[in-house]
Amino acid sequence: MILETQNLTKTYQFGSSTITVIKNVNLEIENGTFVSIVGPSGSGKTTLLNLIGLLSHPTSGKIFFKGEDTSQLSERERRKFRLSNIGFVFQTFNLIPTLTAQENVELPMAFARVKPDTQRERAKDLLQLVGLTHRTCHRPKQLSAGEMQRVAIVRALANDPSLIIADEPTGELDTQTGLNIINLLLNLCKTQGKTIVIATHDEKIKKIADVVYESYARSFVRTTVQNR
Ligand code: ADP
Ligand code: MG
């Protein structure tokens, strides 16, 4: 098991009232599986991904990563842990506009203090992996949406994390481009053993996932398990 949550709950205080966004979420995510988190807009998908990605703190409940209780980590340890264990992919790509594709992919490695030569080599290899060798020196504005998302995906892979968290990664893409991105993520799961957790509305992603957690009563419940 790579990731497990126990009664994960997030509430926000709004004046005198408390808003419960997600309540008692119990995920069990096996290593190397493709997991989709499904639910209507506002059901707490992003909130849940931010929690399991250690970007925010739960109001109550726990997150175990490879059996380790992450609530025991200091802020500094969390940041370090995130950098080497978790890659993020967003709906709107979130590339740095002033950096080239190559530099965007190098950035997480720079944060992790990887040697500059290694950064360059690895970023080149990763961009080649997604067919973007001819786009290494281009800035996000000069790339198509699909190309930007491919850059974002290999940026997420830069420090070779075991878990990739993707928040509606096909939301801004046309059908065919979205399909290519799904296949790329699926391929990372199958050939590199990455664990992929995707929040999505996309029925196609739901169909190919090993496990689907569907929004229900402010929580997410496991609805299907298929053996690939
Ligand atoms: P989804 O990704 O499924 O669309 P979100 O996790 O973005 O859902 O949001 C779930 C709910 O939590 C929404 O009703 C949203 O308004 C609320 N919410 C999210 N972040 C905050 C915040 N920082 N303060 C107050 N409410 C928030
Ligand atoms: Mg969202």
From first to last of its 228 residues, the chain has per-residue pLDDT tens of 999 999 999 999 999 999 999 999 999 999 999 999 999 999 999 999 999 999 999 999 999 999 999 999 999 999 999 999 999 999 999 999 999 999 999 999 999 999 999 999 999 999 999 999 999 999 999 999 999 999 999 999 999 999 999 999 999 999 999 999 999 999 999 999 999 999 998 888 888 999 999 999 999 999 865 555
Task: Tell me how far apart the alpha carbons of residues 114 and 143 are, in angstroms, rounded to a whole number.
Answer: 27
Taken in order of first residue, the domains within the chain and their CATH numbers are: 3-225 (3.40.50.300)
Task: Please provide residue 23's backbone torsions phi and psi, each rounded to the nearest 5 degrees.
Answer: -140, 125
Region of 11 on the Ramachandran plot (φ > 0 left; ψ -120 to 50 alpha; else beta): beta
Instruction: Quickly count: other Cβ atoms within 10 Å of residue 10's Cβ.
Output: 22
Residue type, 74: S
- Give residue 84's Cα distance to chain centre: 13
Please tell me the number of Cα atoms within 13 Å of 178 on its side-chain side: 16
Spell out which residues line ligand 1, taking CB within 6 angstroms.
Answer: 12, 19, 21, 39, 41-47
pTM for the whole structure: 0.95
Which atom from ligand 1 is nearest to the alpha carbon of 40?
A: 3
